[in-house]
Chain A
Amino acid sequence: MSKIGNYKFLVLRRIVQICILLLFWGTNHFGWTVLKGNLSSAKVLDRFYLADPFAVLQILATGTIVSFDIIIGVVIVVIFYGLFVGRSFCSWVCPVNIVTDMAAYLRRKGLGGNKYLKLTRSARYYIIILSLIMTVILGVAAYEIINPIGFVVRGVVFGFGIGGTLLLVIFLFDLLVLKNGFCGHLCPVGGLYSLISRYRLLKVRLDNDKCSSCMDCKVVCPEVQVLGIVGKKSGNISQGECTNCGRCIEVCEDKALRFKLF
């Protein structure tokens, strides 16, 4: 396999992630009308809205009735990710992923710290519950105030403030404290996408007859637990936590892994 072919999904993901940021930025600076707003809620082509399900869930938890535009926006997002492409938001859209992937890469190169912290990957689901409890008690969307995705996208579109340092905190946390710490353990936005992505159409499929059990895929996978079947039996990677990033497919020398639609 050629060197470029080894990174085709990675390159494609970075292009998609940066283009989306660029569209948000350009809309604000040059008056484009393609993608107005940010990842909390965006107006597409000046026609309809998209909305982040977790942000809307928190708004509902404050006891506020959301508008029809926003309900439609959430339904579109939930159907697109939940039924079709799964948790692809995390690896194809979210800009924090660029930073945490970088930290994971440096870790593999031996620059990172040890695993100082032992944390269950279910922590994100507890954080979802905690966010909603706090939202009900405090009367304001609790996670949206510390959401690093919000800080990054607002930073790119409207200018970075002190909140931009949160990105550095996440980078250092992932690099020095816990491997795949933020995206793979803590982030409740990714957690919610995981919860709705179980029955998606786009999945990674393993052909065990070709697999030589080299475990290269497990080295790069940000959610290793989803690759439990590798070296054991053929099948789909069906867990909702899989972000469909395609890194496992790229690194597989045996071509035992591929995307499958059904």
Chain B
Amino acid sequence: MQNKSKISRSDLLKGLVKNGGLMMLGGLPWAAYVEENKEEEFVLRPPGAIKEDDFIKSCIKCGICVEECPYDTLKLAKASDDALTGTPFFTPREIPCYMCTDIPCVEACPTNSLLKDLVIDKESDKYNINKADMGVAVIDQNNCLAYWGIRCDACYRACPLMDEAITLDVKRNERTGKHAMMKPIINPDVCTGCGMCEHACITEKAAIFVLPKEKALGKVNNDYIKGWESEDENRIDSTNFYIDKNKVDKSTLDYLNDTESLLNDE
């Protein structure tokens, strides 16, 4: 029996150490490259894209969504692009998402990285591109002509959800005393991030531009609730922040009335 195994234990250990070392030699620079390539937070994904972390896991990099896009909005990332190599993204300043009502990119995705459920109206079971959540437009007020008091409403007119995603705030122009300021205001709850405003913006570098919501928006914790909005109060119920589930059985009054536990010093 002993003759059968030709590899001694020390040889086996040496082999393991050597091969493990070789794999680390190749694996560590490779891992560093992969890590560097995937750390990109300012990439805009097609409509219906699932959360970025899950998106880069599930996308098979086939590029079918890119081929289906009738406006050539979507591009497949090259190694030098910001997005993870081989994944779809778009740059609204060049070509924005024109919000196809039949959403061919989502329809074609074989891996559900672009998830139909995210852009389908539950009642009618039909696509509703306005449910898309690609990002949110933000305005650089210092460089927006409308905020200077010059008449420009290019973004407002370009917006496919005019008067919903972008509204105009009409104010008196105190400087001239006889003109109106028509400032565009974005409603982040409605804005889909299509980028038609960014595409239309007339300044040299767009003063209105789309960012991923993760990057552009803040987040309020449960310490602050809009008590005047019944919907906002649901945020309390959705967490255990105020309620310790181990103690809910007894109210504070019960505790005070419970003399037994006060006497029994356990």
Contact = CB atoms under 8 A, between A and B. Distances in A.
Interface of A: 27-28, 36-38, 40-43, 49, 51-52, 55-56, 59, 62-64, 66-67, 69-70, 73, 126-127, 129-130, 133-134, 137-142, 144-146, 150-151, 154, 157-159, 161-163
Looking at B23, B33, B64, B81, the one whose CB has the most chain A CB atoms below 10 A away is: B64
A59 B58 contact: yes
A140 B34 CA distance: 8
Given A134-B30, A146-B30, A38 B63 contact: yes
Interface of B: 19, 22-23, 26-27, 30-31, 33-35, 37-38, 53-54, 56-58, 60-64, 66-67, 75-76, 78-81, 84-86, 108, 110-112
A67 B60 CA distance: 11
A138 B62 contact: no
B79 A151 contact: yes
SS class, residues of chain B in contact with chain A: helix
B86 A145 contact: yes
A38 B66 CA distance: 11
B34 A145 contact: yes
Looking at B34, B62, B81, the one whose CB has the most chain A CB atoms below 10 A away is: B62
Looking at A55, A144, A145, A150, the one whose CB has the most chain B CB atoms below 10 A away is: A145
Contacts of B56: 139-140
A67 B85 contact: no
B67 A42 contact: no
Nearest to B27: A130
Contacts of B38: 138, 140, 145
A37 B54 contact: no
Contacts of B57: 59, 62-64, 139-141
Contact of A70 (B34, B66, B81, B110): B110
Nearest to B67: A28
24 contacts: A36-B67, A37-B63, A40-B60, A41-B61, A42-B62, A43-B62, A43-B64, A52-B60, A59-B60, A66-B58, A67-B110, A126-B19, A126-B23, A130-B27, A130-B30, A142-B30, A142-B31, A144-B86, A145-B84, A145-B86, A146-B33, A159-B78, A161-B80, A163-B78
A139 B54 CA distance: 9
Instruction: Return the 7 tightest CB-CB contacts between A and B, nearest first.
Output: A161-B78, A41-B62, A163-B79, A37-B62, A62-B57, A64-B58, A41-B60
Nearest to A144: B61
B63 A154 contact: yes
Contacts of B27: 130, 133-134
Nearest to A142: B34
A40 B31 contact: no
A51 B110 contact: yes
A69 B81 contact: no
B30 A37 contact: no
B64 A36 contact: yes
Contacts of A150: 61, 85-86
Contact of A161 (B31, B53, B81): B81
B26 A130 contact: yes
Contacts of A140: 34, 38, 56-57, 84
